[in-house]
Amino acid sequence: GIQVEQSPPDLILQEGANSTLRCNFSDSVNNLQWFHQNPWGQLINLFYIPSGTKQNGRLSATTVATERYSLLYISSSQTTDSGVYFCAGTQGGSEKLVFGKGTKLTVNP
Amino acid sequence: KAGVTQTPRYLIKTRGQQVTLSCSPISGHRSVSWYQQTPGQGLQFLFEYFSETQRNKGNFPGRFSGRQFSNSRSEMNVSTLELGDSALYLCASGRDRGYNEQFFGPGTRLTVL
């Protein structure tokens, strides 16, 4: 099966800083998604981005499917951005999402 | 539109007992998948259901089982609970199968004593 590698595993920022999170896939994937896990454990959808670039407020994401990677950009970070960010993708016609180990982001005031 | 709902939200059981967790997908969604999250193993796929049929199964022992009903609601059951089954169980809802965005419920946190 596919392997998903996320980097960096941990990131500590001061409020207002920008950051880039990366997700590499060992093989082609479909339905690439980025999630933010809130303190209660729920996975919150950030982007559904099989390819191309999308923006939502201070967040944006880019997926280069041919090179099997995706990037999540967070600009002007806020303390509420803290948490774990996951990327995940599927293969073939399956709904099985394969997740990376996540990036734990801490934004200090 | 209501999101994915999971019940119960918290559960405490003892070793050897069995447990049933429930997931109601977003209205109109027909796909439900289940995941287990533990600090050591991360997010691991359990099962995928579509149109009341299990389409895919993860690498978990037979103590873990599930089903999907005609209204797309799904249940998963864990029998003969072990301490290692303590985890956050998440379900995901998808409109169709294969090429769509999935949405997660709030999870059920299971503690096995």
What does the pLDDT look like over A4-52, one tens digit per residue? 999 999 999 999 999 999 999 999 988 899 999 988 899 999 999 999 9
Q: What is the mean pLDDT of chain A?
A: 95
Q: Does A62 touch chain B (CB under 8 A)?
A: no
Residues in chain A: 109
From B83's Cα to the closest Cα of chain A, the distance in A is 20
From A49's Cα to the closest Cα of chain B, the distance in A is 9
pLDDT grade, residue B77 (50/70/90)? very high
The residue of chain B nearest to residue A97, with distances taken between CA atoms, is: B45
Q: Is the pLDDT of residue A1 over 90?
A: no
pLDDT, tens only, B16-71: 999 999 999 999 999 999 999 999 899 999 999 999 999 999 999 999 999 999 99
Size of interface A-B (CB pairs under 8 A): 68
pLDDT-above-70 percentage for chain B: 99
Spell out a b/e string for A74-88, using b for 16 or more CB atoms within 10 Å of the CB, else e: beebeeebbbbbbbb
* Nearest residue, CB atoms, A101 vs list B42, B58, B92: B42
Residues of B within 8 A of A44 (CB-CB) are 104
CB spacing of A96 vs B88 below 8 angstroms: no
Q: What is the pLDDT of residue A95?
A: 85
Q: What is the pLDDT of residue B99?
A: 74
Q: What is the pLDDT of residue A99?
A: 95
- Mutation target for B interface from A43, A45, A90, A95: give the one with most B CBs within 10 A: A95
Closest listed residue to residue A28, CA positions, set A59, A67, A55, A54: A67
pLDDT grade, residue A85 (50/70/90)? very high
Q: Is the pLDDT of residue B98 over 80?
A: no
List all residues 6 or more positions away from A81 whose beta carbon is below 8 Å from its beta carbon: A36, A74, A105, A107
Q: What is the mean pLDDT of chain B?
A: 95
Q: What is the pLDDT of residue B46?
A: 97
Q: Is the pLDDT of residue B75 over 80?
A: yes
